[in-house]
Structure 1
Amino acid sequence: MAEKTRGTKTARAEDVPMGPTGRPYHGFPTPPALSSHGPARIISLCNQKGGVGKTTTTINLAASLAQYGRRVLAVDFDPQGALSAGLGITTHDVPTIYDLLLDTKRDPHEVIVQTSTPGLDVLPANIDLSAAEVHLVNEVARETILSRVLRKVSGEYDVILVDCQPSLGLLTVNALTASHGVLIPLECEFFALRGVALLVETIDKVRDRLNPAIELDGVLATMYDPRTLHSREVLERVVEAFGDDVLETVIGRTVKFPDASVSGVPITQFAPEHAAAQAYLRLARELVDRGAVA
């Protein structure tokens, strides 16, 4: 009899679905519609290591939030301009975020571009942005220039996502100073894990000296491949290091992301039924559930 009872308990435990992070898997409810928009919560997507999924996450999280009725502004803050290209926006011979940084009196509405995704706008960037740090280094309160730019339009959006460049220079400090929260996309690979401590240290310095209100909204595991022991071990170490700051949603590795980028649309539009598209919709629901987004 005792054995049967133990068997029943085991069966019930096994009935609880577990996510890749080793925690119970939640579906997260569909967020209710908003009766009004703004002021925006500004979230920077940061990691000084390149190729960890910052731009992919910015594009697809922005599109997912827009799909749930949020008004979203995505800020391309990387001189490579990958976010702009990934949303099919031409950045040659047009005003960009660089022009707004150099002339803070300029109206951001002259630069904002509407995308093919309803509710999603973009502040584009191109290679000109690489010169911004040189131009801004002698400016008074140079760390707050992006904040002054975004302040002019924050009342029109529910969330502003800033796609940072892979460095911890003046542009990234500007993004962190302007932000209410930080989302860290982290590739499930050993070398990606090594640099996160330095990023967290930078966030702490910005909190101490420039922006006391900034919060860590979460660590997002990306490029996860459950078939490899390495991916599973790295994710396990991330959960050990960051605990509940690790988001339950995990983004898997798939060739659909570059395919969608070539098409200039988010994956939620390119392949809406694909697991990757569903993962970003789930990420949007999780962030709303956590209170990181209205």
Structure 2
Amino acid sequence: MAEPAKIAVSNQKGGVGKTAVAINVAGALNARGRDVLFVDLDPQGNATENLGLRDEYDSEPPSLFDILSDAEQRERISELVCQHEEMAVIPSNIDMTAVEPELTLARRSGEQLALALEHIENEYDYVIIDCPPFLGNLMDNALYAAQNVLIPALAEDTSKRAFELLFDHIDALERDYEIAIRERGVVVNRIDVRKTQAKDMIEWISDAFEDTPVWEVRERAAIQRALANGASIFVEEPDCDQLEIFENIATDLDAQFDFQEVTA
């Protein structure tokens, strides 16, 4: 199989529904017949829990912490992979809360995830990386490994500063590692259309990202219910009116990465 498309779902601002976007994009890609590997790189383990893998968060070594902090453990990454009904998952682990200083001391600190994924990534069409909600070594590892970014954001003014911080970080990483990181889209999430500020902010984002796809996902209880039940809306809430938006995201990503149309 050819090298997979790798996408970091990233915004260092918390509360933007990043994990919900990541899981539902992965679910949409799976619904299109793609083999997806989902990597929960967030030490909080929200995606791990939302995919019904809460016990893995407290599991014994080896964990993602060991894979990232010990080069001799790197080849064991396949032992971490759990099978969810929609995707393969590398879960986060409670030990990940201590990984930042370990990575600071590591040689090639920003490349550890990429080096580990080399052992398994070619088994998949997509690798979706759910990033932590802060800038640091883990974010560097996600962005370096993926070199593509999908950005969830809220339709509020605080997003402007969040975009600025994220792109400053990306620019620095591109210079340090001599790489190019592509924006694959912005998902304006949890939109409340009753708010005038939301409408104004959507317009601002669309103008700011005129050469990048911008998708609008409205606030829906069904999205949270699906996560609480351990899957995407494609499995748990197939009647949700936002499902089509995630279908459109998956279709667009397939086009961007030159995947052939799925045939029945």
Match of 1:76 in 2: 40
Distance 1:102 1:203, change over 3 A: same
Match of 1:213 in 2: 180
Q: Distance in 2 between matches of 1:167 and 1:104?
A: 24
Match of 2:137 in 1: 170
3-state SS in 1 of match to 2:216: strand
Q: Tell me, yes or no, if the aligned pair for 2:2 and 2:122 is still in contact at 8 Å.
A: yes
Q: How far is 1:168 from its partner?
A: 0.8
| Of 226, 243, 255, the match for 1:289 | 255
- How many residues are aligned here? 255
Distance 1:63 1:101, change over 3 A: same
Q: Tell me, yes or no, if the aligned pair for 1:177 and 1:211 is still in contact at 8 Å.
A: no
Q: Tell me, yes or no, if the aligned pair for 1:41 and 1:180 is still in contact at 8 Å.
A: no
Letter in 1 for 2:51: L
| Of 80, 83, 88, the match for 1:114 | 83
Q: How far is 1:265 from its partner?
A: 1.3
Letter in 2 for 1:170: N
Q: Tell me, yes or no, if the aligned pair for 2:149 and 2:181 is still in contact at 8 Å.
A: yes
Q: Which runs of 5+ in 1 are unaligned?
A: 1-36
Match of 2:8 in 1: 44
Q: Which runs of 5+ in 2 are unaligned?
A: none
| Of 101, 104, 107, the match for 1:137 | 104
Question: Mean alpha-carbon deviation: is it higher for 210-219 or for 160-169?
Answer: 210-219
Q: Tell me, yes or no, if the aligned pair for 1:48 and 1:167 is still in contact at 8 Å.
A: yes
Q: How far is 1:153 from its partner?
A: 1.0
Q: Distance in 2 between matches of 1:284 and 1:212?
A: 25
Distance 1:292 1:47, change over 3 A: farther
Q: Distance in 2 between matches of 1:43 and 1:193?
A: 22
Match of 1:105 in 2: 72
* 1:1-294 map, 5 Å: 37-89=1-53, 90-91=55-56, 92-94=58-60, 95-106=62-73, 107-117=76-86, 120-247=87-214, 249-291=215-257
Q: How far is 1:293 from its partner?
A: 6.2
Q: Tell me, yes or no, if the aligned pair for 1:252 and 1:276 is still in contact at 8 Å.
A: yes
Q: How far is 1:292 from its partner?
A: 7.3
Q: Distance in 2 between matches of 1:251 and 1:286?
A: 15
What is the CA deviation profile of residues 70-122 of structure 1, one whole-angstrom value per residue up to 9, with x for unaligned ones? 111110000110111111012222443212112333321100100022xx101
Q: Distance in 1 between matches of 2:188 and 2:42?
A: 21
Question: Mean alpha-carbon deviation: is it higher for 92-101 or for 126-135?
Answer: 92-101
Distance 1:211 1:146, change over 3 A: farther
Q: How far is 1:127 from its partner?
A: 2.5
Q: Distance in 1 between matches of 2:44 and 2:72?
A: 25
What is the CA deviation profile of residues 136-179 of structure 1, one whole-angstrom value per residue up to 9, with x for unaligned ones? 21111111111101111111111101101111111101111111
Q: Tell me, yes or no, if the aligned pair for 1:77 and 1:162 is still in contact at 8 Å.
A: yes
- Cα root mean square deviation, aligned: 1.6
Letter in 1 for 2:162: G
Q: Tell me, yes or no, if the aligned pair for 1:272 and 1:278 is still in contact at 8 Å.
A: no
Q: Distance in 2 between matches of 1:114 and 1:280?
A: 22
TM-score, normalising length from structure 1? 0.82
Q: Distance in 2 between matches of 1:173 and 1:292?
A: 26
Q: Distance in 2 between matches of 1:155 and 1:212?
A: 21
Q: Tell me, yes or no, if the aligned pair for 2:8 and 2:131 is still in contact at 8 Å.
A: yes
Q: How far is 1:53 from its partner?
A: 1.7
